[in-house]
Amino acid sequence: MTKSLGVLAASVLLPAVVWADGLQSLEHFMRTAKAGQAQFTQTVTAPAKEGQAPRTKTSSGDFTFQRPGQFKFTYTKPFAQTIVADGKTVWLYDVDLNQVTQRKQADALGSTPAAILASASDLSGLQKDFTLKPVPDADGLQWVEAVPKASDGQLKSVRVGFQGETLAAMDILDGFGQRSVIRFSQLKLLPALPAGHFKFEVPAGADVMQQ
Protein backbone atom coordinates (compact mmCIF):
# COMPACT_ATOMS: atom_id res chain seq x y z
CA MET A 1 0.00 0.00 0.00
CA THR A 2 1.44 3.34 -0.94
CA LYS A 3 1.98 5.59 2.04
CA SER A 4 1.50 8.86 0.28
CA LEU A 5 1.03 12.00 2.14
CA GLY A 6 -1.46 12.90 0.67
CA VAL A 7 -4.74 15.26 0.74
CA LEU A 8 -8.13 17.35 1.64
CA ALA A 9 -11.29 19.53 1.49
CA ALA A 10 -14.10 21.27 -0.26
CA SER A 11 -17.74 22.21 -0.59
CA VAL A 12 -20.85 20.11 -1.13
CA LEU A 13 -22.56 22.64 -3.34
CA LEU A 14 -21.80 23.20 -6.99
CA PRO A 15 -21.13 26.83 -7.84
CA ALA A 16 -23.59 29.00 -9.65
CA VAL A 17 -20.85 30.53 -11.76
CA VAL A 18 -18.69 29.13 -14.50
CA TRP A 19 -15.03 29.01 -13.55
CA ALA A 20 -12.47 30.02 -16.13
CA ASP A 21 -9.93 27.28 -15.43
CA GLY A 22 -8.44 25.03 -12.78
CA LEU A 23 -6.03 27.71 -11.59
CA GLN A 24 -8.90 30.01 -10.70
CA SER A 25 -10.66 27.15 -8.91
CA LEU A 26 -7.50 26.35 -6.96
CA GLU A 27 -7.08 29.97 -5.93
CA HIS A 28 -10.68 30.12 -4.71
CA PHE A 29 -10.26 26.87 -2.81
CA MET A 30 -7.14 28.08 -1.05
CA ARG A 31 -8.78 31.34 -0.03
CA THR A 32 -12.04 29.85 1.25
CA ALA A 33 -11.43 26.26 2.41
CA LYS A 34 -10.26 26.67 6.01
CA ALA A 35 -11.42 23.31 7.40
CA GLY A 36 -13.36 20.35 6.09
CA GLN A 37 -13.88 16.65 5.67
CA ALA A 38 -14.30 14.21 2.80
CA GLN A 39 -14.39 10.56 1.84
CA PHE A 40 -11.78 9.35 -0.65
CA THR A 41 -10.85 6.46 -2.90
CA GLN A 42 -7.21 6.12 -3.94
CA THR A 43 -5.99 4.04 -6.88
CA VAL A 44 -2.25 3.46 -7.15
CA THR A 45 -0.80 2.12 -10.40
CA ALA A 46 2.80 0.92 -10.50
CA PRO A 47 4.78 1.00 -13.76
CA ALA A 48 4.38 -2.12 -15.87
CA LYS A 49 7.27 -4.56 -15.78
CA GLU A 50 8.41 -6.21 -18.98
CA GLY A 51 5.83 -8.75 -20.09
CA GLN A 52 3.39 -7.86 -17.28
CA ALA A 53 0.36 -5.63 -16.94
CA PRO A 54 0.55 -2.60 -14.62
CA ARG A 55 -0.20 -3.44 -10.98
CA THR A 56 -3.09 -1.54 -9.42
CA LYS A 57 -4.11 -1.22 -5.78
CA THR A 58 -7.18 0.56 -4.45
CA SER A 59 -7.75 1.89 -0.93
CA SER A 60 -10.32 4.13 0.71
CA GLY A 61 -11.04 6.06 3.86
CA ASP A 62 -11.83 9.51 5.16
CA PHE A 63 -10.00 12.80 5.41
CA THR A 64 -10.19 15.92 7.57
CA PHE A 65 -8.12 19.09 7.38
CA GLN A 66 -7.72 22.49 8.96
CA ARG A 67 -5.49 25.29 7.77
CA PRO A 68 -2.74 26.01 8.35
CA GLY A 69 -1.05 22.66 7.97
CA GLN A 70 -3.23 20.22 9.90
CA PHE A 71 -4.79 17.13 8.36
CA LYS A 72 -5.71 13.54 9.09
CA PHE A 73 -5.85 10.95 6.36
CA THR A 74 -7.41 7.69 7.65
CA TYR A 75 -7.27 4.60 5.45
CA THR A 76 -9.87 1.98 6.36
CA LYS A 77 -9.77 -0.42 3.38
CA PRO A 78 -8.07 -2.73 2.60
CA PHE A 79 -5.63 -1.98 5.45
CA ALA A 80 -5.91 0.37 8.41
CA GLN A 81 -3.41 3.22 8.35
CA THR A 82 -3.42 6.81 9.58
CA ILE A 83 -1.43 9.87 8.51
CA VAL A 84 -1.70 12.88 10.81
CA ALA A 85 -0.09 16.30 10.46
CA ASP A 86 -0.46 18.33 13.65
CA GLY A 87 1.32 21.47 12.44
CA LYS A 88 4.77 20.45 13.68
CA THR A 89 5.07 16.71 13.03
CA VAL A 90 3.74 14.27 10.46
CA TRP A 91 2.82 10.90 11.99
CA LEU A 92 2.24 7.73 9.99
CA TYR A 93 0.71 4.80 11.88
CA ASP A 94 0.57 1.32 10.35
CA VAL A 95 -1.99 -0.60 12.41
CA ASP A 96 -1.02 -4.10 11.26
CA LEU A 97 2.66 -3.54 12.04
CA ASN A 98 1.88 -1.44 15.13
CA GLN A 99 4.55 0.90 13.85
CA VAL A 100 4.71 4.70 13.94
CA THR A 101 6.92 6.85 11.73
CA GLN A 102 7.37 10.50 12.62
CA ARG A 103 8.99 13.29 10.67
CA LYS A 104 9.27 17.04 11.09
CA GLN A 105 6.43 18.60 9.15
CA ALA A 106 8.65 21.32 7.66
CA ASP A 107 10.73 18.57 6.07
CA ALA A 108 7.87 16.25 5.17
CA LEU A 109 5.57 18.64 3.31
CA GLY A 110 7.22 21.32 1.15
CA SER A 111 6.95 20.01 -2.39
CA THR A 112 4.28 17.38 -1.70
CA PRO A 113 0.60 16.94 -2.63
CA ALA A 114 -0.38 17.82 0.94
CA ALA A 115 1.24 21.23 0.64
CA ILE A 116 -1.04 22.08 -2.26
CA LEU A 117 -4.24 21.50 -0.35
CA ALA A 118 -3.47 21.98 3.33
CA SER A 119 -0.45 24.16 3.96
CA ALA A 120 -0.16 27.22 1.74
CA SER A 121 -2.82 29.88 2.30
CA ASP A 122 -2.68 31.41 -1.19
CA LEU A 123 -1.24 30.90 -4.66
CA SER A 124 1.80 33.07 -4.01
CA GLY A 125 2.77 30.85 -1.09
CA LEU A 126 2.30 27.73 -3.18
CA GLN A 127 4.32 29.17 -6.06
CA LYS A 128 7.40 29.28 -3.86
CA ASP A 129 7.62 25.50 -4.20
CA PHE A 130 5.61 24.75 -7.37
CA THR A 131 5.23 25.93 -10.93
CA LEU A 132 1.49 26.12 -11.57
CA LYS A 133 -0.42 26.05 -14.84
CA PRO A 134 -3.97 25.23 -15.96
CA VAL A 135 -4.31 22.16 -18.19
CA PRO A 136 -7.17 21.10 -20.53
CA ASP A 137 -10.42 19.99 -18.92
CA ALA A 138 -10.94 16.23 -18.70
CA ASP A 139 -13.46 13.88 -17.06
CA GLY A 140 -15.80 16.84 -16.63
CA LEU A 141 -13.29 18.55 -14.34
CA GLN A 142 -11.08 21.62 -14.52
CA TRP A 143 -7.45 20.81 -13.81
CA VAL A 144 -4.34 22.63 -12.69
CA GLU A 145 -0.88 21.08 -12.77
CA ALA A 146 1.72 21.70 -10.08
CA VAL A 147 5.36 20.78 -10.80
CA PRO A 148 7.76 20.99 -7.85
CA LYS A 149 10.70 23.35 -8.28
CA ALA A 150 12.93 21.12 -6.15
CA SER A 151 14.40 18.31 -8.24
CA ASP A 152 14.74 15.59 -5.59
CA GLY A 153 13.03 13.02 -7.80
CA GLN A 154 10.38 11.99 -5.28
CA LEU A 155 7.52 13.89 -6.90
CA LYS A 156 7.24 14.62 -10.60
CA SER A 157 3.88 16.38 -10.82
CA VAL A 158 0.48 16.76 -9.22
CA ARG A 159 -2.75 17.55 -11.04
CA VAL A 160 -5.66 18.84 -8.99
CA GLY A 161 -9.17 18.57 -10.44
CA PHE A 162 -12.16 20.74 -9.54
CA GLN A 163 -15.83 20.69 -10.38
CA GLY A 164 -16.34 24.42 -10.27
CA GLU A 165 -15.11 25.46 -6.82
CA THR A 166 -15.37 21.93 -5.41
CA LEU A 167 -12.27 19.76 -5.01
CA ALA A 168 -12.88 16.50 -6.86
CA ALA A 169 -9.60 14.69 -7.56
CA MET A 170 -5.82 14.59 -7.41
CA ASP A 171 -3.55 12.82 -9.89
CA ILE A 172 -0.04 12.33 -8.47
CA LEU A 173 2.95 11.09 -10.48
CA ASP A 174 6.15 10.31 -8.61
CA GLY A 175 9.72 10.15 -9.85
CA PHE A 176 9.55 6.37 -10.21
CA GLY A 177 6.59 6.43 -12.60
CA GLN A 178 4.00 5.40 -10.01
CA ARG A 179 0.64 7.15 -10.39
CA SER A 180 -1.81 7.73 -7.56
CA VAL A 181 -5.32 9.01 -8.32
CA ILE A 182 -7.46 10.19 -5.42
CA ARG A 183 -11.19 10.82 -5.90
CA PHE A 184 -13.05 12.81 -3.26
CA SER A 185 -16.73 12.48 -2.36
CA GLN A 186 -19.16 13.80 0.28
CA LEU A 187 -17.06 16.92 0.53
CA LYS A 188 -18.04 19.33 3.27
CA LEU A 189 -16.55 22.62 4.43
CA LEU A 190 -16.51 23.39 8.15
CA PRO A 191 -15.68 26.54 10.10
CA ALA A 192 -13.37 24.54 12.38
CA LEU A 193 -12.73 21.09 13.81
CA PRO A 194 -12.71 20.19 17.53
CA ALA A 195 -9.62 21.03 19.56
CA GLY A 196 -7.33 18.04 19.72
CA HIS A 197 -8.69 16.49 16.53
CA PHE A 198 -5.21 16.40 14.99
CA LYS A 199 -3.37 15.38 18.15
CA PHE A 200 -1.70 12.00 17.64
CA GLU A 201 -1.00 9.71 20.59
CA VAL A 202 1.39 6.81 20.03
CA PRO A 203 -0.48 3.52 20.65
CA ALA A 204 0.75 1.36 23.51
CA GLY A 205 3.58 -0.93 22.48
CA ALA A 206 4.06 0.63 19.04
CA ASP A 207 7.55 0.91 17.59
CA VAL A 208 8.46 4.53 16.80
CA MET A 209 10.89 5.50 14.07
CA GLN A 210 12.11 8.98 13.15
CA GLN A 211 13.00 10.12 9.66
Domain CATH number, residue 181: 2.50.20.10
Chain centroid offset of residue 197 CA: 18
Q: Please check whether residue 66 lies inside any domain of the structure.
A: yes
User: 131: which residues sit within 8 A by CB, 6+ positions away?
Assistant: 146, 147, 149
Q: Please check whether residue 87 lies inside any domain of the structure.
A: yes
* pLDDT tens per residue across span 65-85: 888 888 898 999 999 999 999
Between residues 40 and 191, the one the model is more confident about? 40
**Residue 174 near residue 156 (C-beta atoms within 8 A):** yes
Q: Please check whether residue 12 lies inside any domain of the structure.
A: no
Between residues 191 and 60, the one the model is more confident about? 60
Query: Cα–Cα distances in Å, from 164 out to 13, 59, 120?
Result: 9, 26, 20
Q: Please check whether residue 169 lies inside any domain of the structure.
A: yes
| Per-residue pLDDT, 142 | 94
Asked if pLDDT for residue 175 goes beyond 60, the answer is yes
Q: Please check whether residue 157 lies inside any domain of the structure.
A: yes
Q: Which helix (H) or strand (E) holds 126?
A: helix 123-126
CA distance 117 to 164: 16
**Residue 134 near residue 91 (C-beta atoms within 8 A):** no
How would residue 109 be classed by pLDDT, with cut points 50, 70 and 90? low
Q: Please check whether residue 138 lies inside any domain of the structure.
A: yes
Q: Please check whether residue 132 lies inside any domain of the structure.
A: yes
Q: Please check whether residue 185 lies inside any domain of the structure.
A: yes
Phi, then psi, of 115 in degrees rounded to 5: -65, -30
Three-state DSSP at 123 gives: helix
Work out the percent of the chain whose per-residue pLDDT is above 90: 45
CA distance 160 to 42: 14
* pLDDT tens per residue across span 36-68: 899 999 999 998 887 788 889 999 999 998 888
Interval 133-157 mean pLDDT:
87
Question: How far apart, in Å, do the first and last CA atoms of the chain sit?
Answer: 19
> The domain containing residue 139 runs over which residues?
22-48+58-192
**What's the domain count of the chain?**
1
Amino acid found at 135: V
